Structure 1
Amino acid sequence: MFAFFYTLGLHLLVFLANIVALFHPKTRKWVEGQRAKSKKQGAKGKGQEAKGKGQRAKKDLAFRGMMPVRESKVFWVHAASLGEFEQGRPVIEAIRAEYPHARIVLSFFSPSGYEIRKDYDQVDEVCYLPVDTPRNVKRFLDSVQPDVALFIKYEFWYNYLHELKKRQIPTFLFSAIFRPNQLFFKPYGGFYRRMLFCFNEILVQNEASKHLLNSVGYASATVAGDTRLDRVVQIAKQAKSYPEIEAFKGTDPLLVIGSAWPDDMEVLIPFLNQWEAPLKVIIAPHEINTEQIQQWQKALKKPSERFTVYGLRFGVDGTPLDILHSPLDILFLDTIGMLASLFRYADFAYVGGAFKDGLHNTMEPAVYGMPIFFGQPYYQKFQEALDLLQLGGATTIATTQEFTTAFTEVYQNLEIRQQKAGSCYDYVQKNAGATAKVMASIRSAF
């Protein structure tokens, strides 16, 4: 009964999304992506059915010793959005390295993931995940024919999970984290609990999550950690150099504000306007919106510029052009893909999102070792944020005054700054290695 109403609700969601798409660009991209995937699957349907029969015949012949077995594994990896993709990227690339002939299909639910990573070269296909209706699920799985299904952090789709279990396809959830207030652990959460038992194994970030799963009878939980730590270690090793940023920073301390939302800037702009000691600042908005950046520039009393404009001061080789310019204190990052590498130049980091939508990736600055700040209260579901607060490497603030007090302390006291930086760096190094544990679980499926 619950499954019927769940599927009915999804049909209603699609209907409403088609209406919202008329006015909302992001929703429109999602709707268009769903339509494109549906047409593609429809076109492949008959051919895939014939191909499936042929493959079954080959397997039968191979079983009887009449022909050699030489087949590639098929991995289906699903990420809700861009953040989950970056979290799962070390696993995808480990699969590609260990199974070079495998076919890897990467699906996204959100346009923010698909649009940015649709050309990702470590997989064979990138697509939107079709809406979780029984018909869509069967068509998708018939088309992909996965040998293993991998879900990153969360995304619990009832029909997909039950069909995967029905087909006896090994299914894993990794870098997962659970909290007591989730529906899985409520007396009335039986519908949601059934989805947990569709996973062959759930690899969680911490012991608390494992304990919660055990409390509802799920015994196949393993504490493996968070693959995001492996990703930031990987990024740090491959971090790009930016002569423009080196020139901008000079010899001054640098504060990098990553994934800034308007709520974050309401707290930070008054601080920046009253701060008098030497300090360079790079601000990376959560969403690149030129109009929003211009509004922030007007609110700031110090000279600022967008990176795409500032970059015109340099030649193609990164060397400064021989022209005069006014001093610059604040730089707005209006490009995609630079932020993770830019933290290498930072002395302090502020990570946005915790005032409203949810804290963004604190591990990106932590891997380089520096004091980290973020807002509140929406950081509680991020284990690494809680750990960094407990270790003293991070500080959470609610007001401009709180940030000013906390920042002044680490700016003026080098010993405290180094202690906080060391706590962040050591945390990442000690807790990396989740990818190897996920790969061990994948091997056990074959």
Structure 2
Amino acid sequence: MFWLYNFGITLYSVLVKIASLFNPKAKLFVSGRKNVMQAIAQQINANHKHIWFHFASLGEFEQGRPVLERLKESSAESRIVVTFFSPSGYEIRKDYALAEGVFYLPLDTRKNAEQLIRLINPEIAVFTKYEFWHHYFKVLGEKQIPLFIISGIFRPQQLFFKWYGGFYRNILKQVTHFFVQNEQSVDLLKSIHLENVSLSGDTRFDRVAENAAAPKDFPLIRTFCGNSPVCVAGSTWPEDEQLLKALIEEQPDWKFIIAPHEINSEHLDQLIKLMPDLIRYTTLQSKESAHSKPLAGSHVTEQPGSARILLIDNIGMLSSVYQYAKVAYIGGGFGAGIHNTLEAAAFGLPVIFGPKYEKFQEARDLISMGAAISINSGGELSAAFDQLRKDASAAERSSQYVQRKTGSTKQIVTMLENYI
């Protein structure tokens, strides 16, 4: 299995280089790793100890961010290094102020693992939710560097729990302690004789609760909303947007804010063609500053208060935009899986999403308490929207659910401080 793992890493490297010739994300993945070791050596002083945080992508960063920031707060002299696997995390957080440096994680080879860990010189390593790399974990173990998994979640279908999964179980044996989200994960780890596990919950609850307590205000969006009830559709894909178009036509008294998951020009052009009456947020900014030409999709509506559909065409606003809504729609449920429901729930919003939600504990919880509805079609979306907009108690249940689940960060940081 060892040689097969190494072959898989090599094959992945070849395939992603081929994909980089025509795929922008793959191109960033490859170019970002070019000379990354030299960049680390120049920016990071290997004579100092560091706390190493690794995140798969942006979602995991937001999940682990409360722990990172609480550690920095309690130990201001600590130096932090952040790595990302995915461009969607690195490109947005590469200038993160609390880190000594932010870098792409080189692919998992023995040589890369030894070099990276020597350059970073971590006193502890913290991985969020998942990403279990054989060579990185092995070298950390050999150097007796404590390794923690926070907000971990495990499922019976994973290779760790199969009879033939011995190689992958050995990867987990390098972990100093697991902080997991649910009882099932505790039981699964103990079933393979890993007792170094705590049920801590999900640090995302702390993050979204903090955001909801002090969200960033957007005056242009407040003007757009006016006195109308608002539905925010977050992280949408084309399948979601087709359904939303019909809902918008059915609800003339409501305003809709759509924040697509992908904001490349091709997707935005498709969305503008689908909903020509929308106005782009960057157009509102242009009109406000009066120094830019109108953008595509802006010619229909001149005043934001008279528009019914607002397109958020940039990254980083969505988590605060939910403050203006009465109901939220979360995208991704007709693809690989739904996106972040907790950002909306923290503002006390009932949520609607597609059928691919089973891997997400919080989605199952929200459905069970009547604060969320999963839909499969436009007709079901219309019915769910009517039900939730009339159910005031659904909003209260949503907010209370988030508040009950906070506290994970404190539990985790209390243990990590013992190793720093």
> What interval of TM-score do these two structures reach, taking the shorter chain for normalisation?
over 0.9
Are 1:22 and 2:21 an aligned pair? Answer: yes
Structure 1 pair 234/276, CA: closer, same or farther in 2 (3 Å)? closer
- Partner amino acid for 2:402? V
Q: Distance in 1 between matches of 2:387 and 2:91?
A: 41
Matched, 1:309 2:280: no
Residue number in structure 2 paired with 1:283: 258
How far 1:277 sits from its partner (Å)?
3.9
Aligned-partner SS, 1:287? coil
> 360, 368, 374: which one pairs with 1:382?
360
| CA displacement at 1:44 relative to structure 2 | 9.2
Q: Give the C-alpha shift of residue 267 in structure 1.
A: 2.0
Pick the aligned partner of 2:395 from 421, 425, 445: 421
Equivalent in the alignment of 1:179: 155
Residue 332 of structure 2 is aligned to residue 356 of structure 1: no
- Shift, 1:270, TM fit: 2.1
Q: Tell me what 1:258 maps to.
A: 234
**Inter-partner Cα distance in structure 2 for 1:182 and 1:218:** 15
Displacement of 1:438 after TM fit?
A: 1.0
Mapped to 1, the partners of 2:27 and 2:273 lie a distance apart of 32
CA contact (8 A) 2:256 2:309 kept: yes
| Larger deviation, residues 261-270 vs 346-355 | 261-270
Q: 1:28 to 1:290 in 2, by over 3 A?
A: closer
Q: How many percent identity over aligned positions? A: 41
* 1:308-344 alpha-carbon deviations (Å, 9 max, x no partner): 112334359xxxxxx9748311000012211111111
What is the aligned partner in structure 2 of residue 439 from structure 1?
413
- Judged with a 3 Å threshold, the aligned counterparts in structure 2 of structure 1 residues 101 and 325 are, in CA distance, closer, same or farther, namely closer
Residue 445 of structure 1 and its aligned partner are, at CA, apart by 2.5
Structure 2 partner of 1:110 = 86
Alpha-carbon distance in 2 for matches of 1:291, 1:40: 33
Change (3 A) 1:427 1:343: same
SS at match of 1:208: helix
- Residue 236 of structure 1: CA displacement? 1.6
Aligned counterpart, 1:34: 33
Q: Which residue of 1 aligns with 2:96?
A: 120
CA distance in 2 between counterparts of 1:206 and 1:42 reads 39
In structure 1, distance between residues paired with 2:214 and 2:99: 20
SS at match of 1:147: strand
Question: Structure 2 CA distance, aligned partners of 1:104 and 1:330?
Answer: 41
Give CA deviations for 1:125-144 in whole Å, capped at 9, x if unaligned.
10011111000100011111
Aligned counterpart, 2:325? 346
Provide the residue aligned with 2:4 in structure 1: 5
Change (3 A) 1:256 1:43: closer
Partner of 2:295: none
SS, match of residue 160 in structure 1: helix
Taking the TM superposition and a 5 Å limit, the aligned residue runs for 1:230-245 are 230-245=206-221
The alignment status of 1:404 with 2:379, answered yes or no, reads no
Per the alignment, residue 55 of structure 2 pairs with: 79
State the shift of 1:166 in Å. Answer: 1.1
Query: Structure 1 residues 423 and 263, CA, compared in 2 at 3 Å: closer, same or farther?
Result: same
Q: Is the 8 A contact 1:282 1:331 kept in 2?
A: yes
8 Å contact kept, 2:52–2:82: yes
User: In the alignment, is the contact (CA less than 8 A) between 1:272 and 1:300 conserved in 2?
Assistant: no
Task: Give the CA deviation at 1:184.
Answer: 0.9
Question: Which amino acid in 2 is paired with 1:21?
Answer: S
Query: Is residue 44–residue 143 contact of structure 1 (8 Å, CA) maintained in 2?
Result: no
- CA distance in 2: counterparts of 1:22 and 1:277, whole angstroms: 45
Q: Which runs of 5+ in 1 are unaligned?
A: 52-71, 317-322
Q: What is the CA–CA distance in structure 1 between the aligned matches of 2:134 and 2:385, rounded to whole Å? A: 46
User: Partner of 1:162: helix, strand, or coil?
Assistant: helix
Shift of 1:353: 0.8
Distance 1:325 1:143, change over 3 A: closer
- Shift of residue 16, structure 1, vs aligned partner: 2.2
Query: Aligned residue for 2:372?
Result: 394
- Comparing 290-299 with 391-400, which one deviates more in the overlay? 290-299
The alpha-carbon distance between structure 1 residues 360 and 135, as it changes in their structure 2 partners (threshold 3 A), is: same
One-letter amino acid matched to 1:166: E
Match of 2:270 in 1: 295
SS of the counterpart of 1:127?
strand
Q: Distance in 2 between matches of 1:347 and 1:296?
A: 23
Contact 1:304 1:332 in 2 (8 A): yes
CA distance in 2, matches of 1:339, 1:4: 43
Alpha-carbon distance in 2 for matches of 1:264, 1:177: 27
1:267 matches 2:243: yes
Q: Residue type matched to 1:180 in 2?
A: P
1:332 aligns with 2:331: no
Separation in 1, partners of 2:318, 2:231: 12
Alignment check: 8 A CA contact 1:370 1:425 kept: yes
